[in-house]
Structure 1
Amino acid sequence: MSLQRYLVVCTRWRYTASATLTTFIPITIGIIACVIVPVAWEIMYTEVVPYPINITEPPVVCLNVMPTEISPYFINYTFMCGFAVPLCVMAICYFMLVRHVRQRFHERKGKIERNNL
């Protein structure tokens, strides 16, 4: 959302007719790519096992049986795609958005001061 806000406010994308489509497709593909990998790993390495309790219908438990060799890669991938990259993109977009708005404010303030002289 911050990327789209930056593109609409600070660039000429707001004037194009297909701005929604040109931003929607790459963002959707990126989100799907970042979601499919961890979901596929969770599906492959999760087992449903019965939990041993003395009741008439035994409950089941989902256990993660991911090998220890793969686990660090999965954790790093989910951290990067789920937290670090979105945080960096949002911070950069909002920093550039604030810089753009300040620059425009100072330009307009200068024009008003010149007109009042």
Structure 2
Amino acid sequence: MMKLSFNWFNLILLFPCFYFFYWIDNADRNSKIFPIFYYFYWIYISLLALFSLDMTIFSFLFFPFVLNHESDASSWGVGLLLIVLSLGSDWLDYIFFKKMFRLRQELGKSKGGRH
């Protein structure tokens, strides 16, 4: 029987993703820790986009090998799932970057480009 276990490392890696939308809307732009979160998210989102792009390339390169064996439906499902997950991750990266660029423009207008 397979034992289900929870991997805390995955949660630690994904927590900034979940916290981002709360932070971007409710951040106090005059606080001392705001620049720390601001630059952390620029680095985190850049790395997330890099790995997301790698996953997309891997998915599209992996899928033609699945097509060689048309009878195995589970392989088709895995290939399609990889493609859908990678495109969803790319879309999420686009939203992150769009919100960060909007924040960057707001900071440039309000504080003369301090951050």
Please give the TM-score of this superposition, normalised by the length of structure 2.
0.42
Please give the TM-score of this superposition, normalised by the length of structure 1.
0.41
| Higher-helix-fraction structure | 2
More contact order relative to length (CA 8 Å, sep ≥ 6): 1
| Higher radius of gyration, 1 or 2 | 1
